[in-house]
Amino acid sequence: MIHSLDRLSDLERDLLTLLAQGHTAKTIARSRSLSANVVNEHLRSARRKTGASSSRELARLVVAATQIQSQKVRDNLFGIESPTSPEHREPRRGLMFGPVATLINWRVMMSFGVLIAAGVLAFQSSVPSQAEQSNTNDRSIASESAASGPPDLVYQVLFSEDDELLASPTVASQFGRWVRVEVPDLMRVTLFTGERGQDGKFYTAATMQVFRDNAWQPARELSMRSTLAFTPSFEHSVEGTPYRFVIMPRLIVPAAE
């Protein structure tokens, strides 16, 4: 039995829509700058919420529900009635228009339609792209860097609680400089990446903490050496809590040889 799809988050709906379009977890991960593990976690979360046994089955239901809702919106916009038999339709009451009045009425409707279309385009142009929206969440994000200047790399950080994404800020930094980003009074991470070593790899370190009992708890430290070419990630679930960190560093400028 499938429970209500209303329990799904916007991110889960987006990932399921891509899945219904034939994508795999790996291709979804690349298109959304996530790791495949994070994508699979969100799909598992969606299945748990709805009781679905298969992610692809759930994906088809999400797409079908979206299409039905879109059709309803279009019907309401253009005043289309639901199909009913002629004998059950009530006669329309009101003024009867002659040919001239009908022509004027049609021109008014066309002008009104143009104004609606212009408004929709203006609204769409004012809405940030999905990449920009990933940095905007219900919870405010605080960040701090030790230096300013042209960035060498960026980190995307995913903060989640009970498999629900709380925030996904993207912050820029420089080699040899630290940067910290946090959800105030909840989770924070401090990040550092050095310049490329003789082995062609970069040393990256992450220090992760959660806020509990009115204090920041002892930090968990992780580090790695990698080329940063395939968006490697730190992934850490805080034992005894519903909180999880995913940190993905990647280069944005060519590294010096």
Cα-Cα end-to-end distance for the chain: 57
Q: What is the mean pLDDT of residues 179-196?
A: 92
Chain mean position to CA 31: 11
pTM above 0.75, yes or no: no
Strands 170-173 and 164-167: unpaired
Residues 6+ apart with CB under 8 A from 170: 134, 135, 154, 155, 156, 157
CA distance 141 to 135: 9
- In angstroms and rounded to an integer, the radius of gyration of the C-alpha atoms of the chain is 25
Residues 165, 15: contact at Cβ < 8 Å? Answer: no
Per-residue pLDDT for 122 more than 80?
no
> Of the ranges 32-46, 142-156, 175-189, which one carries the lowest mean pLDDT score?
142-156
Per-residue pLDDT for 120 more than 70?
no
Q: Which amino acid is at 93?
A: R
The continuous run of DSSP H or E covering 246 comes out as strand 243-251
Per-residue pLDDT for 157 more than 60?
yes
Per-residue pLDDT for 203 more than 90?
yes
